[in-house]
């Protein structure tokens, strides 16, 4: 079975598992306990915090460990918006886009329904890119937060985060960047973001650990209340083994990032060209150049995306129809609809996402394998269109 759904989740890397195992077996202390076992745990947690801070280009005090990317996004959007609202004494205004992950969009909807927040969704072009001028025009005195994804989880389009950060900095408004898909492929340090979300299971750590890197000067209202862990920003006993795993995974991904991105981009482009050549009805979704190295997403007119996926799985290939968080939904992708893709065509979408393991493979073997996948795509689409 060939697994091409790394955007949904990636396997735990052996090096990461080795790094975290001692904290599941022997070094199990609670970092808040005031005895030698607890102090050893606190020291390991502090080390993990320092290591991830170095990768994302922030201070250790800026790192809040969470249960994953969804919690990190919720904490960023709700926490920063409510923190600003409490300080100003007025409902917040938030700027985002219609192609964000549901963790962002649902958080904004919650703030609108429960706290009277005003939400502005910036337009995107047919490739999913934002015009920084539109962002600059959308910001107003009541704007508490701008929240934008670094790279889209369905189509892989990468935003010009530096230009967006310049616009928010000029307006004096915090910028939150959802970097869940970008981690391991794009630079995390130096983006200009004031807050950054990461999920461990996308980069070789296990599910259940993530982080929000957020400038400590920003008022952040916690979502979880209790013992005051994480500098009163996220109560609850920390996932020590997970934090160690996340630090190891981030360091490995960052060390490999430049070389892996170059090699996987070449494989991705070869794969895209072969699919477009062999499947006349195929259309690439997302930006043709400014896209994640490991993401290739298509629509196949005259098919059902789910039917194509079943045909591919019969041929030993696992991929997806889009966001794993929307699996089982009969609704067309909100991302593709925002790009102007008709609803019927959006329901034919299939996404292939590759991991760093493609870069570690023998180059000739990787090309041959992905050529075979492209051929399987062609035969699968043909089978669905013919009703076979």
DSSP string, 194-216: SEEEEEGGGTTSPTT-EEEEE-T
pLDDT at 361: 78
Backbone dihedral angles phi then psi of residue 8, each to the nearest 5 degrees: -80, -50
What angle (nearest 5°) sits at the alpha carbon of residue 45, between those of residues 39 and 49?
Answer: 145
- Rounded distance, CA 14 to CA 361, Å? 16
290 token code pair = 């400014």
CA atoms in the 13 A half-sphere facing the CB of 323: 23
Answer whether 14-252 and 257-386 agree in fold.
Answer: no
What pLDDT, in 10s, does the model give residues 68-114?
999 999 999 999 999 999 988 999 999 999 999 999 999 999 999 99
pLDDT at 329: 58
- Is the pLDDT at 51 greater than 90, yes or no? yes
270 token code pair = 């070869």
Beta-sheet pairing, 282-284 with 295-300: antiparallel
pLDDT at 325: 55
- The domain segmentation of the chain, as residue ranges, is 14-252, 257-386
The CATH architecture one would assign to domain 14-252 is 3-Layer(aba) Sandwich (3.40)
Backbone dihedral angles phi then psi of residue 298, each to the nearest 5 degrees: -135, 160
What pLDDT, in 10s, does the model give residues 299-347?
999 999 999 999 999 999 999 986 555 555 568 999 999 999 999 999 9
Confidence label for 366 from pLDDT (cuts 50, 70 and 90): confident
What's the chain's average pLDDT? 95
Measured over the CA atoms of residue 204, residue 205, residue 209 and residue 210, the dihedral's sign is negative
- Catalytic positions, please? 325
- Is the pLDDT at 272 greater than 80, yes or no? yes
Share of the chain above pLDDT 90, in %: 91
How many residues can be counted in the chain?
Answer: 388
CATH class of 257-386: alpha beta
- Rounded distance, CA 317 to CA 319, Å? 7
Over residues 113-130, mean pLDDT: 98
Over residues 260-270, mean pLDDT: 96
First to last CA, the chain: 22
Confidence label for 271 from pLDDT (cuts 50, 70 and 90): very high
pLDDT at 360: 80
Q: Kindly write down the DSSP assignment for every residue of 333-369, as one continuous string.
A: PHHHHHTT--HHHHTTEEEEE--THHHHS-HHHHHHH
Confidence label for 362 from pLDDT (cuts 50, 70 and 90): confident
pLDDT at 350: 98
- Is the pLDDT at 119 greater than 60, yes or no? yes
Confidence label for 276 from pLDDT (cuts 50, 70 and 90): very high
- Is the pLDDT at 359 greater than 80, yes or no? no
What pLDDT, in 10s, does the model give residues 176-217?
999 999 999 999 999 999 999 999 999 999 999 999 999 999
């Amino acid at each position: 079975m060939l697994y091409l759904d790394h955007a949904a989740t990636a396997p735990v890397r052996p090096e990461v598992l080795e790094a975290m195992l001692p904290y599941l077996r022997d070094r199990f202390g609670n970092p808040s306990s005031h005895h030698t076992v607890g102090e050893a745990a606190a020291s390991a947690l502090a080390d993990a915090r320092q290591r991830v801070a170095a990768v994302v280009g922030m201070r250790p005090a800026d790192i809040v460990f969470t249960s994953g990317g969804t919690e990190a996004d919720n904490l960023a959007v709700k926490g920063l918006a409510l923190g600003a609202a409490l300080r100003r004494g007025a409902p917040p205004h938030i700027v985002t886009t219609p192609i964000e992950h549901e963790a962002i969009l649902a958080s904004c909807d919650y703030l609108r329904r429960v706290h009277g927040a005003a939400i502005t969704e910036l337009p995107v072009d047919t490739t999913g890119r934002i015009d920084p001028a539109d962002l600059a025009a959308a910001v107003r005195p009541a704007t508490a937060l701008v929240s934008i994804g670094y790279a889209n989880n369905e189509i892989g389009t990468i935003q010009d985060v530096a230009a967006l950060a310049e616009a928010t900095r000029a307006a004096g408004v915090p910028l939150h960047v959802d970097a869940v898909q970008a981690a391991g492929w794009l630079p995390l340090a130096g983006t200009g973001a004031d807050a950054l979300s990461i999920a461990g299971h996308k980069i070789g750590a296990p599910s259940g650990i993530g982080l929000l890197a957020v400038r400590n000067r920003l008022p952040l209202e916690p979502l979880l209340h209790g013992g005051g862990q994480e500098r009163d920003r996220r109560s609850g006993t920390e996932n020590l083994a997970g934090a160690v795993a996340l630090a190891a995974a981030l360091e490995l991904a960052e060390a490999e990032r430049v070389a892996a991105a170059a090699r996987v981009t070449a494989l991705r482009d070869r794969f895209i060209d072969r699919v477009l050549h062999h499947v006349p009805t195929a259309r690439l979704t997302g930006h043709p150049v400014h896209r994640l190295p490991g993401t290739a997403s298509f629509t196949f007119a005259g098919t059902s995306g789910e039917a194509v996926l079943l045909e591919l799985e019969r041929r030993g290939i696992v991929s997806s129809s889009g966001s794993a968080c929307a699996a089982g939904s009969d609704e067309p992708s909100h991302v593709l609809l925002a790009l102007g893709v008709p609803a019927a065509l959006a329901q034919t979408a299939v996404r292939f996402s590759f991991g760093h393991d493609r870069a570690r493979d023998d180059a000739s073997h990787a090309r041959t394998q992905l050529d075979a996948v492209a051929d399987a795509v062609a035969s699968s689409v043909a089978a669905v269109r013919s009703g076979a």
